[in-house]
């Protein structure tokens, strides 16, 4: 009897221990389930946030693609406009070159036509009359004509050389001129005797009639017409000192300065 009771108590104790172990195991499992549930909820919330961010990024990508397409169209439009402006620039440059050539040709034609017209002789003779009146007021032996001519010629020669060098600078790179076209430098008028300017014209005959004392001319021409003729010879022979340098422009420059009363002798 006692053994039976002991066995029952042992079985009861074992059952109690098993019950306690099962309860502990169940409690542990419940805690694990609760933890896994919380983690699942957190992951679901995180997945929802990531899904929302993904949708936002997709919308942003769509907007960027649209902006990229708009910018591409704008770049194409700007490139086409640049090409159009380059064409307009080339056309304007060509038009300006043609207009400048026309103006130069018109000016040269006007100068040449004026030089060949009777008005040129009238204007030149009027200018020479003024110079003659001023020169006749000088004392015998004075070199008024030579001094004034030397100063004026040297100034205008410097200006003509500047024009020549400016035109050379406008030539394209690699353009070479033939050697015979480039002359030596022009001598200054102060180093040239009056006979070399007038050739064998009236000035030599006047010089033979007069006496040259200490390098000065002591006598004047016999008549005013003769003096005007000599002065005209001086003016137009300046362009013949070295013709290859300025075959046309130098003569036209002297002519225009002479008509504006800037070139005097």
pLDDT tens, residue by residue, 74-99: 999 999 999 999 999 999 999 999 99
Instruction: Note the pLDDT tens digit of each residue in 169-215.
Output: 777 766 665 544 444 444 443 333 333 333 334 333 434 443 333 33
pLDDT of residue 121 exceeding 70: yes
Across the range 235-253, mean pLDDT stands at 43
Closest CA to 105 of 210, 258, 233, 252: 252
Q: Name the residue among 211, 245, 258, 206 with its Cα closest to residue 229.
A: 206
CA dist 1 and 80 (Å) reads: 115
Distance CA 206, CA 97 (A): 50
Distance between CA atoms of residues 195 and 69, nearest Å? 83
What per-residue confidence (pLDDT) applies to 152? 66
List the structure tokens of 114: 């004026």
Q: Residue 220: which of 130, 141, 125 has the closest Cα?
A: 141
pLDDT band of residue 244 (cuts 50, 70, 90) is: very low
Average pLDDT, the chain: 69
Q: Of the candidates 230, 254, 257, 265, which has an alpha carbon nearest to the alpha carbon of residue 144?
A: 265
For 23-60, the pLDDT digits (tens) are 888 889 999 999 999 999 999 999 999 999 999 999 99
Q: Which helix (H) or strand (E) holds 213?
A: strand 212-213
As a three-state string, the secondary structure of 91-146 is HHHHHHHHHHHHHHHHHHHHHHHHHCCHHHHHHHHHHHHHHHHHHHCCCCCCCHHH
Sign for the CA dihedral angle at 139, 141, 143, 146 comes to positive
Residue 232 has pLDDT above 70, yes or no: no
| Domain regions of the chain by residue span | 27-104, 117-168+187-259
Going by C-alpha positions, the residue among 142, 168, 188 that lies closest to residue 249 is 168
Question: Which pTM does this prediction carry?
Answer: 0.31
pLDDT of residue 215: 39
């Amino acid at each position: 009897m006692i053994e039976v009771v002991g066995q029952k108590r042992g079985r009861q104790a074992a059952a109690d221990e098993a019950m306690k172990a099962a309860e502990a195991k169940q409690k542990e499992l419940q805690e694990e389930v609760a933890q896994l549930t919380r983690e699942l909820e957190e992951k679901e919330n995180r997945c929802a946030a990531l899904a929302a961010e993904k949708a936002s990024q997709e919308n942003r990508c769509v907007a960027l693609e649209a902006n990229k397409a708009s910018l591409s169209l704008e770049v194409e439009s700007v490139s086409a406009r640049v090409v159009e402006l380059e064409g307009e620039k080339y056309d304007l440059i060509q038009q300006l070159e043609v207009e400048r050539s026309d103006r130069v040709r018109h000016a040269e034609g006007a100068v040449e036509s004026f030089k060949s017209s009777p008005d040129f002789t009238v204007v030149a003779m009027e200018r020479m009359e003024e110079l003659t009146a001023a020169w006749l007021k000088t004392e015998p032996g004075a070199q008024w004509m030579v001094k004034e001519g030397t100063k004026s010629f040297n100034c205008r020669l410097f200006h003509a050389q500047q024009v020549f060098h400016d035109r050379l600078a406008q030539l394209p790179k690699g353009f070479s001129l033939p050697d015979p076209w480039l002359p030596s430098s022009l001598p200054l008028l102060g180093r040239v005797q009056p006979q070399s300017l007038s050739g064998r014209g009236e000035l030599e005959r006047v010089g033979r009639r007069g006496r040259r004392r200490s390098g000065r001319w002591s006598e004047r021409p016999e008549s005013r017409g003769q003096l005007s003729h000599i002065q005209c010879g001086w003016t137009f022979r300046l362009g013949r000192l070295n013709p290859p340098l300025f075959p046309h422009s130098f003569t036209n420059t002297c002519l225009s300065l002479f008509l504006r009363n800037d070139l005097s002798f």
